[in-house]
Amino acid sequence: MKTKKLTEILERVEAWPPHIQDELAEFALELDAGLKDGEYQPTPEELASIDRGLRVAAEGRFASEQQVEAVFAKFHGK
């Protein structure tokens, strides 16, 4: 069974370039591998990244709007 949201995104994914579809597939496989008893179990590396992100957020260190736009432009091929 697929949710409505998943069905909609899978239809859109079909129009993505193959290498981007492969990236999504790899991410989905990582999520699937992390599922235990129906609950996602983050890896030690993911937990460390989460801790690092929470630490820098608590310090008030955030990316500027320009930095965020630059990252989106990089991944959207602009």
Task: Put residue 13 in one of left, alpha, beta given phi > 0 → left and psi -120 to 50 → alpha.
Answer: alpha
Question: What confidence score (pLDDT) does residue 1 get?
Answer: 82
Instruction: Take residue 2 and report the two structure tokens written for it.
Output: 């697929």
> What is the three-class DSSP state of 12?
helix
> 53, 75, 72: which is closest to 42 by C-alpha?
53
Q: Which amino acid does the sequence have at 65?
A: E
Q: What pairs with residue 39 in β-bridges?
A: 36
Question: What confidence score (pLDDT) does residue 33 get?
Answer: 81
> Token pair 């008030």 is at which residue?
60
Chain segment 9-51, per-residue pLDDT in tens: 999 999 999 999 999 999 999 888 877 777 777 889 999 999 9
Q: Is the pLDDT of residue 71 over 80?
A: yes
Grade residue 78 by pLDDT with cuts at 50, 70 and 90.
low
